[in-house]
Amino acid sequence: MRDVKRFQLCERFQRRKRFQRRKRFQLRTGALIGVIAAVMTFAAPTVTWAQADDSATAEEEEAPDEVAARLNEEGRALVQKAEYYKALEKFREALQHFPLSNAIFNIGSMLYTLKQYEEAFPYVEQTLKAPLSTEQRDIVQKHRDHILEALKHSHTATTIRSNPPGARVSVNGKAMPFVAPVMVLIPYGTADVTLEADGFQSQTIVIKASPEQPPKKSYAARLEREEPYAGVALFCPAGSDIFIDGEMRGFELVRIRLLAGPHVARCGKTARTPAFERKLEVAKGRANTFDYSKDTE
């Protein structure tokens, strides 16, 4: 906990410096606004306006970063009381509002304190990407080294990269809290590392590792763009023409590729059946067969 306090003191010192700079700027700006307001008051004609009651004005909602900072401070207060699980909840809640690097470290630190080393590792590792002072970086690096030492008989670490960057990563089905490129813990044996990104096909890397044969230092996956089209087979009554989204496509049976999503099919009139329409929902990744050959209306 001594390292956590040192980290927090460093962070608090830097925040105080930023606050002082911002305060000086606000004072200068406030003085300028006051001068402008005085000039405008002097020059403006006298006009009576209905003024809204200030007391009825609702307070502005906190900005996400302000909410996160407040929750992070509440978590720190709980750490001082050794209420680590409650503090962890506060830090997690803070991170949901805004990605504060300090909250990320505090989550990792609490998990480390609670000896949940696998859970702690990605947060500690992510903190090293933040702009830290030399002292802060030493503290975080110390936590990281201790985690790897504690897990050396069951896990090893490797870096996962994706093209395009930013893919979501899961190890043996467990989602990681941060996107690629990211360093992850790999359990000894066989691990499935899956990468996913919107608009791309998912890809799984199978990594085998043991104390005698550690994995490579990094693995990269090139994600292929997801095919937006899907195959469709559409059957209509014998002798009918087939329209899809208002365009003539064939007779009785049409095999075609359509964009995934909603479409409208029309089976034309025959000597035995009237014309009718059907809504189609075309899905990717499965067979899309629509059989209306027996329909009569």
Confidence band for 242, pLDDT divided at 50, 70 and 90: very high
- Do 163 and 216 lie in one domain? The reply is yes
Does a structural domain hold residue 55?
Answer: no
Query: Token pair of 289, please?
Result: 């067969």
Query: Token pair of 118, please?
Result: 């696998």
Does a structural domain hold residue 48?
Answer: no
- Do 14 and 75 lie in one domain? The reply is yes
- How much is the average pLDDT of 196-202? 90
Is residue 181's pLDDT more than 90?
yes
Confidence band for 8, pLDDT divided at 50, 70 and 90: low
- Do 110 and 65 lie in one domain? The reply is yes
Q: Number of structural domains, the chain? A: 3
Does a structural domain hold residue 247?
Answer: yes
For the chain, what percent of residues have pLDDT higher than 70? 80
What pLDDT score was predicted for residue 220? 96
- Do 132 and 33 lie in one domain? The reply is yes
- Do 164 and 214 lie in one domain? The reply is yes
Is residue 29's pLDDT more than 90?
no
Does a structural domain hold residue 47?
Answer: no
What pLDDT score was predicted for residue 289? 95
- Do 178 and 218 lie in one domain? The reply is yes
Q: Tell me, what CATH number does 28's domain have?
A: 1.25.40.10
What pLDDT score was predicted for residue 31? 33
Q: Final residue of a domain: which of 200, 226, 252?
A: 226
Q: Supply the range of the domain harboring residue 268.
A: 229-291
Is residue 260's pLDDT more than 50?
yes
Is residue 115's pLDDT more than 80?
yes
Query: Token pair of 151, please?
Result: 């897990």
Is residue 23's pLDDT more than 60?
no
Q: Tell me, what CATH number does 207's domain have?
A: 2.60.40.1120
- How much is the average pLDDT of 192-199? 94
Q: Final residue of a domain: which of 182, 205, 226?
A: 226
Alpha-carbon distance 116 to 84, whole Å?
12
Closest CA to 293 of 240, 231, 226, 220: 240
Pick the range with the lowest mean pLDDT from 10-19, 131-140, 167-176. Answer: 10-19
- Do 172 and 240 lie in one domain? The reply is no
- Do 67 and 84 lie in one domain? The reply is yes
Closest CA to 93 of 82, 80, 81, 78: 78
Q: Final residue of a domain: which of 117, 151, 185?
A: 151
Are 183 and 177 a contacting pair, CB within 8 Å? no
- Do 137 and 253 lie in one domain? The reply is no
Does a structural domain hold residue 56?
Answer: no
Alpha-carbon distance 119 to 124, whole Å?
10
Confidence band for 97, pLDDT divided at 50, 70 and 90: very high
- Do 2 and 100 lie in one domain? The reply is yes
